[in-house]
Structure 1
Amino acid sequence: MPRPIGEHTTPWPEPDAARYVAEGYWAGVPLGHLLRAASDRAPDAPALADAATGLALTHRELAERVDATAVRLLDRGLSAGDRIVVQLANGSAFVILTLACLRAGIVPVMALPAHRRRELTHLSVLSEASAIAVPDTLNGFDHRGLAHELTENVRNATGERWQVLVDGPGADPADMDLRTLCAPGDDPVADRARLDATAPGPRDVALFLLSGGTTGSPKLIARTHDDYAYNAVLSAGAAGVGDDAVYLASLPLAHNFALACPGLLGVLLAGGRVVTLPTPEPRAAFAAIAEHGVTHAAAVPAVAARWLEHAVGAGPPAPLRVLQVGGARIPDELARRVSPVLGARLQQVFGMAEGLLCCTRLDDPDDVVCTTQGRPLSPHDEVRLVDGDDRDVPDGEPGSLLTRGPYTPRGYYRAPEQNARAFTPDGWYRSGDVCRRTPGGNLVVEGRDKDMINRGGEKISAEEVENLVYRLPAVRQVAAVAMPDPALGERVCVYVVAQPGSTVTLDEIRAHMETVGVARFTLPERLELVDELASTTVGKIDKKALRADVARRMEREHGTGAAHAPR
């Protein structure tokens, strides 16, 4: 049996929790109940459109399918508190299964379709998962086959029976077929009554989000029903999402941004409609916006740039009203083009799966919207910007961001060593972001103080890349750093000192990492072979100097800000 989640989570101190309840931040109602109540307000209003399959559901139809799926999961051996790794592309199966887990108290672990053997094994063992949900194949990759390959590893590590849920025609009798699992039920009234009677508690863990993986493999972030509902509702209010909103979910729904900022959950709680699309490719996205009357969408800067380029020839994606941009800082000059070119109001979003969310407001002056990443959503968000000695810096000066509040958990799951580094004894989370605060209270993100590479919103651990490259016998020393990229913000560059008489190529490094089974977005895209690595006066590898060096090399080769192909 997996250990109860509560054994390895860090609760909010009771005085803080009591204050959040008293002041109305925490509703004291599980997410499944809140979503059911939202569907009751307008049961015949449209709730979900799957742009890939054409499936369209009203709020009542969606709620009833969710309840039927939750009951089937329970009847097939999963129990409240069990963990299931969810690795599905954007679509109705993701939506129905995830909401069914929330309804039944089963805890989804939000994996990405890009994850492979290494990441999935780590997540499954760390969470003590009993099941995994995958597509049969996606973009030519056999996800079902990999899920079955993992069976023995997970069973040996956790002792748990491992169930595989498959979305697509590749399911066999040994799998749960998600198409059958997510079908309408025979008795919606009985399903609802059963689930209402056995609902999880509002402070129970609702789901696991993944950290950016700044120190090796991703850490698990336990989000409770109370805190995550508050997260979604606050975000919906700030984005102007009401029951007339139509939200395009084209970024991966497993990300916090697309799931609850306001994303899927915030829009459904507001009574709006969600349109799922498995890709943010401009042509497909613009077609979905036009066909479904999309009013709100979210993008990372690289996607926003592609949409802007596409709109020059195709015209603005009417009737889009609000485009949220987050995941990384959008360049100011790009931000200024969003409203004139796309015809939508830009909302910058800065936050983290660990909690704190900041955003510009829809009525902010254009200069604030285009040059800052906004201000905290909740009146009870606490934010400090500090120097290297944890002393607060004045407004206008850059400092490392510390935060705590009603939707910022106090620790990672089963990660005591990381918790000691990432959280202060009095509960402040060290985000690793370097920001400065304007006189108006908005934050401007200046960079990171952790060894992190942000590739189009996907956070890559330099340490993990280095550990894998060190497995090559020809490598004596390696340092992974971010190199600038106009489309994605950053890409991975590795500096390598080879063993005497040896050499190594970028193709060899990438092939080795692919063999290990890592997500493709972590693969280095530039290699610099050097005789020695730059170091600080105390002998540490000087990552700042290496980042500056690769930027200079790229400028000489291609001009400032030019894209650089892997070599």
Structure 2
Amino acid sequence: MTLATDFTDGYRADMARRSWPGRTLLDHLDEAVAHRPDTLAVVGYTHADDGRRALTYAELAARVDRVAAGLLDLGVQAGQVVSMQLPNWWQLPVLSLACLRVGAVTNALMPIFRTRELEFMLGLAESTVLVVPEEFAGFDHAAMARDLTGRLPALTTVITVRPGGGGQFDAVLAGRSPTVDDRAEFARRRPDPDAVVQLAYTSGTTGEPKGVMVTSNTALCNVRDFAARLGLTPDDVQLMASPLAHQTGYMYGFQMPILRGATSVLQDVWRPGRAAEIIRAESVAFTMASTPFLADLTREAEAAPEAFASFRVFLCAGAPVPRDLVRRATVAMDARIGSGWGMSEMGAVTATGPEDADERVFETDGSPLPDVELRVIGLDGDVLGPDVEGSLQVRANSLFGGYLKRPNLRGCDAEGWFDTGDLARIDADGFLRITGRSKDIIIRGGENIPVVEIENLLYAHPDVAEVAIVAMPDERLGERACAFVVPREGAVPTLDGLGQFLARRGAATQYRPERLELVDALPRTLTGKIQKFRLRERLAAPVVGAGATAPREDA
């Protein structure tokens, strides 16, 4: 199977001429080896053995070539999909670059996936090779992978990995140096910048994932512009604890450092205290993650600010950034806190820059990156004016090449506008604010509840650590709002107390939640996005020990 993109609109051709780089990540790797061979490329921290492993750019390139030779020995063909279910270990960047060397397609998968998810994803991709840990976080990935080979005819090879090296990965994939003939084959297979080089499954916030087809041109133009927006330099060491198997980690923890010849520090299991130690030891300047990561690091910085002496930028994406948290983090880390928004289908779309006022971080998800256009449309399809909520559409140079085997779902019109499925408003200065998913909208008695705004208000409540508001069915009004709240330690929020808090902040009566569920944690993807469909499923199930409810008959 060869993956093919669906770039059929005239706008896309124009974008290519204007802003696509016309390069692959191999070009940037070769440049780094030529100009900065002794610079650290990848530093990996592993939780199981408390290990640290580092590769310079020269060492990285040498390992990439050995693994690429191993892929040739396995019979991997150009255009075939190689899947890897690996944590943030150095083997994932090496294997991804080796796939580029032989023209194969990288498919990085979340370590939390199990047989049900993997059978679907590997089957859809017709993956021929699967690389997994021998064991990770107490789970036997090797046994699961062996079971999958009997279910998937295309899957002919399973290779296991140990975090420190050795085992099958070294023996089978990195067992020999490339020959002259191998290098000739590398040159013959070097992918065109418009070829599909990555298959990225959507993160699962709304149900069945889709396979996003990514080219070098669509990915690297975004990575380039994102780094420029944040003012990052080749000397800025960055930490990535978000999974490389998600686009946040893959694009900005793996691809972005190589594009700039910089150092990427990987953490495989999130431990806030360990992250603070890593920031100090490696002189980390930048990281990107969701709100829970920022909250954790802020507590560490408040306790030991000296660990963050090198740190200067945190880009928060994937969830709203509470105003109070931004203020605490800015003071504790003496750093710039930014906000941004994006999708697996196109990477980062908007971000605040170092020069933007704090209010932009509190109140918006940033402004568009270069060669990104936004518009908000109403139910009739007309483009809406500033500060009016509607359906968000994006037109961008980084827009993906379609969904694997699902061309009918691409949601892109002939002029290049992609329907994001999000509700949003755009202010007069072009700054975006995501107000919710179209599927997450709550319509109470014919009136839309501004879910994100109410959630942001509740984040400031002293008893609330986290909150998510979803719709619960109602015979009379259609829907009412239910708040799922993770309390702060020692606190017991009440529905009446939350309602009074919102009233003091001017929230309309009909916008206040009418049911409260106290939970230990919110269901999230590994990148921090709240899976609201799981909360709705919980409300639809038989109620056991239901939370407080205060239905109102006002419309």
The one of 123, 127, 148 aligned to 1:129:
127
The one of 3, 6, 10 aligned to 1:5:
3
Is the CA contact (8 Å cut-off) linking 1:165 and 1:177 kept in structure 2? yes
SS in structure 2 of the partner of residue 230 of structure 1: helix
| Matches of 1:209 and 1:182, distance apart in 2 | 23
Is the CA contact (8 Å cut-off) linking 2:25 and 2:259 kept in structure 1? no
Is the CA contact (8 Å cut-off) linking 2:16 and 2:397 kept in structure 1? no
Query: Residues 535 and 109 of structure 1: is their aligned pair in 2 closer, same or farther, counting only changes over 3 Å?
Result: farther
Shift in Å, 1:118: 1.4
The one of 258, 263, 275 aligned to 1:285:
275
1:100 lines up with 2:98 in the alignment: yes
Shift in Å, 1:16: 3.3
| Matches of 1:33 and 1:552, distance apart in 2 | 47
1:218 lines up with 2:209 in the alignment: yes
Shift in Å, 1:191: 5.5
Shift in Å, 1:371: 2.4
CA deviations 1:525-561 (Å, max 9, x no partner) are: xxxxxxxx42577xxxx5x52x437679995369549
SS in structure 2 of the partner of residue 297 of structure 1: strand
Q: Give the TM-score normalised by structure 1.
A: 0.77
Partner residue of 2:43? 49
Q: How does 1:108-507 map to 2 (within 5 A)?
A: 108-155=106-153, 160-168=154-162, 177-180=168-171, 183=174, 186=177, 192=183, 194-213=185-204, 216-260=207-251, 262-315=252-305, 317-355=308-346, 357-378=349-370, 380-409=371-400, 411-419=402-410, 422-451=411-440, 487=465, 490=468
For the aligned residues, what is the CA RMSD? 3.1
Is the CA contact (8 Å cut-off) linking 1:251 and 1:279 kept in structure 2? no
Q: How does 1:469-548 map to 2 (within 5 A)?
A: 487=465, 490=468, 533-535=473-475, 542=478, 544-545=479-480, 547-548=481-482
Letter of the structure 2 residue corresponding to residue 196 of structure 1 = A
Partner residue of 1:463? none
Shift in Å, 1:170: 13
Q: Percent identity?
A: 29
Is the CA contact (8 Å cut-off) linking 1:242 and 1:267 kept in structure 2? no
| Matches of 1:154 and 1:452, distance apart in 2 | 39
SS in structure 2 of the partner of residue 450 of structure 1: helix
Letter of the structure 2 residue corresponding to residue 427 of structure 1 = G
SS in structure 1 of the partner of residue 107 of structure 2: strand
SS in structure 1 of the partner of residue 482 of structure 2: helix
Q: Which runs of 5+ in 2 are unaligned?
A: 443-457, 499-515, 522-544, 546-555
Shift in Å, 1:114: 0.9
Partner residue of 1:20? 15
| Matches of 1:290 and 1:191, distance apart in 2 | 41
CA deviations 1:14-34 (Å, max 9, x no partner) are: x434423432x2122232233
| Matches of 2:309 and 2:163, distance apart in 1 | 36
| Matches of 2:236 and 2:113, distance apart in 1 | 31
Shift in Å, 1:184: 8.1
Partner residue of 1:37? 31
The count of corresponding residues between Structure 1 and Structure 2 is: 476
Shift in Å, 1:214: 5.4
1:556 lines up with 2:494 in the alignment: yes
Is the CA contact (8 Å cut-off) linking 1:98 and 1:108 kept in structure 2? yes
Letter of the structure 1 residue corresponding to residue 11 of structure 2 = D
| Matches of 1:214 and 1:256, distance apart in 2 | 14
Letter of the structure 2 residue corresponding to residue 19 of structure 1 = D
Shift in Å, 1:185: 5.2
| Matches of 2:287 and 2:107, distance apart in 1 | 24
